[in-house]
Amino acid sequence: MMRLLNRRALVTGASRGIGRAIAIAFAEEGTDVAITSRNLAALEETRAAVEAQGRLCHAMEWDVSDIAIAQARLEEAREALGGLDIIVNNAGVHHLPDQAGSEADWDYVIDTNLKAVWFLTDWGAQMMSPGGAIINIASDYAFRGGNSIYGVSKWGVRGLTRGLAQKWARQDVRVNGIGPGPVATEMSNWRDGDPLERASLPLGRLTLPEEVARVAVFLASDDASAVIGETIVLNTGNS
């Protein structure tokens, strides 16, 4: 039985990795999906995979750090799909822990990873009917720390997820998060084939995007109807 049959979802940063896996997993569960990327052409593979499941897919070019058009993009997604039941704030940028970065780097990472998540969560919840679900992709950095702009931004995502969950639970919109550790994606800086890298992980491997997607399906579904304000960590024991 499909757990998300005939629901409508927006997934940001869906051209690859975790975002693509979530969009496809939602389609497999019966969801129509709007997807975003900074490069529209990069969404074609995801769009084809969603449509191969017989679901509607609406692709939008958008750098989520451009908050000025956030409400317009939310409205475009809602109009294209006939409503919004699920939002996944996945789009993000990464800086290594040893990269202090410039002020411009700080602003871009915070605008993309934190500020955009705040506004898409708060504004998106206003567009949802009761029973909606918002899932923010944080990081295990939000639990174990990290001396980087990225780490700071993901601590913030964990915090805003808990805070806005309290606000929107009263309107029957659930806000939760997922905190992946190293994931086997292009964005990851881990060398998955390196035996030293593998030995540093208790399970001996990276988390797979599809494993993150399965948790997203759970959080979006009625199975998680009492889960509010939580950020679930997936890091193969890398605590």
Active site (catalytic) residues: 150
**Sole residue written with tokens 């629901």:** 7
Provide the terminal-to-terminal Cα distance of the chain, rounded to the nearest Å. Answer: 35
Nearest to 111 by CA among 177, 63, 175, 146: 63
Instruction: Describe the crossing of helices 209-220 and 17-28 by its angle, rounded to 10 degrees.
Output: 50
Q: Please provide the DSSP assignment of 133-199 as one string.
A: EEEEE--THHHH--SSHHHHHHHHHHHHHHHHHHHHHTTTEEEEEEEE-SBSSTT----TT-HHHHH
Residue 183 backbone dihedrals phi, psi, to 5 degrees:
-120, 145
DSSP secondary structure letter of residue 114: I
Nearest to 172 by CA among 209, 226, 218: 226
